[in-house]
Amino acid sequence: MKVQMLESWPVLSLLSLGKNSVFEQALSRTVDLVLLVGLNPGATVLDFTRNDTWRLSVQETTGTSSLRITVTTGFSSSLEEIVFLCAPGSAVEYSGCNSATVQIRAVHANCTANVQVGPIIDSQYILEKDDIGQNVSNAAWVDLGSNAGHPPPFMNYAAILTSGTIDIRTSTLAGGVFFEALGLASHTLLLNQFKIGNYDRLQARGTGAVAQNIRVVWYNRR
């Protein structure tokens, strides 16, 4: 496990921010995770005491596994636990306050994750990424985008642009299909607001032998 202390933010006032404020320090770690099965919450990657608000970001960097992230906050008599996922090669963020413990479990395979806590961001603009253009036909299903069908960091919505009728589905890393829609016209509303699960890959297939153009535009909120 590699641990790195990032550059400190300017300290405005120890009285107003508190001695343990994340504006004084930000903790960043690169963690090698081993595949765990069952209900094990995973490795404890952060365990900190704070008296202010903070932003947690987690990024899976090897593209081999989804991450199960557990954040526990509160007090000894009233703990609060939230669990969320991160797709392979993607990233997620969470805002919290006061003390917390962060645990991460590799779901599909051994992998590496970057974890950091920093000052909270008051507002976030809409993020958008126009991915690579691709060609699809009825010969085979194709992973959409440049991350093997998974959403890029901090995004999990997709708008699918195409020149003709297509088939769309989501599949797991093991190949299981959880959603499939066939014969969708290019103007179908679903193609403009498709939500991607953090276990799944987004795939497309053309409906004719002649290849057609397709591009996915990823974004973070509707």
> Which stretches of the chain score pLDDT less than 70?
1-26, 76, 122-124
Q: Could you tell me the residue range of the domain that residue 111 belongs to?
A: 2-118
Domain assignment present for 176:
yes
Q: Do 180 and 113 belong together in one domain?
A: no
Domain's final residue, options 118, 145, 170 = 118
Q: Do 109 and 36 belong together in one domain?
A: yes
pLDDT value for 123: 63
Distances in whole angstroms, Cα of residue 88 to Cα of each of 127, 197, 214:
19, 11, 22
Q: Do 72 and 136 belong together in one domain?
A: no
Q: What pLDDT digit, counting tens, does each position of 6-19 carry? A: 333 333 333 334 44
Report the phi/psi class of residue 15: left, alpha or beta, with left for phi > 0 and alpha for psi in -120 to 50. Answer: alpha
Q: Do 9 and 42 belong together in one domain?
A: yes
Q: What pLDDT digit, counting tens, does each position of 119-130 carry? A: 887 666 788 999
Q: What are phi and psi of 119, to 5 degrees?
A: -65, 145
Torsion of CA 2, 106, 71, 123, to 10 degrees: 80
pLDDT value for 13: 31
Q: Do 11 and 79 belong together in one domain?
A: yes
Q: Do 27 and 112 belong together in one domain?
A: yes
Q: Do 133 and 112 belong together in one domain?
A: no
Domain assignment present for 108:
yes
Is-above-0.75 flag for pTM?
A: yes
Q: Do 75 and 183 belong together in one domain?
A: no
Domain's final residue, options 97, 118, 139 = 118
Domain's final residue, options 63, 93, 118 = 118
Domain assignment present for 22:
yes
Q: Are 33 and 2 a contacting pair, CB within 8 Å?
A: no
Domain assignment present for 164:
yes
Q: Do 160 and 201 belong together in one domain?
A: yes
Secondary structure of the chain as H, E, C letters: CEEEECCCCCCCCHHHHCCCCCCCCCEEEEEEECECCCCCCCEEEEEECCCCEEEEEEEECCCCCCEEEEEEEEECCEEEEEEEEECCCCEEEEEEECCEEEEEEECCCCEEEEEEEECCCCCCCCCEEEEEEEEECCCCCEECCCCCCCCCCCCCEEEEEECCCEEEEEEECCCCEEEEEEEECCCCHHHHCEECCCCEEEEEEECCCCCEEEEEEEECCC
| CATH, residue 179 | 2.60.120
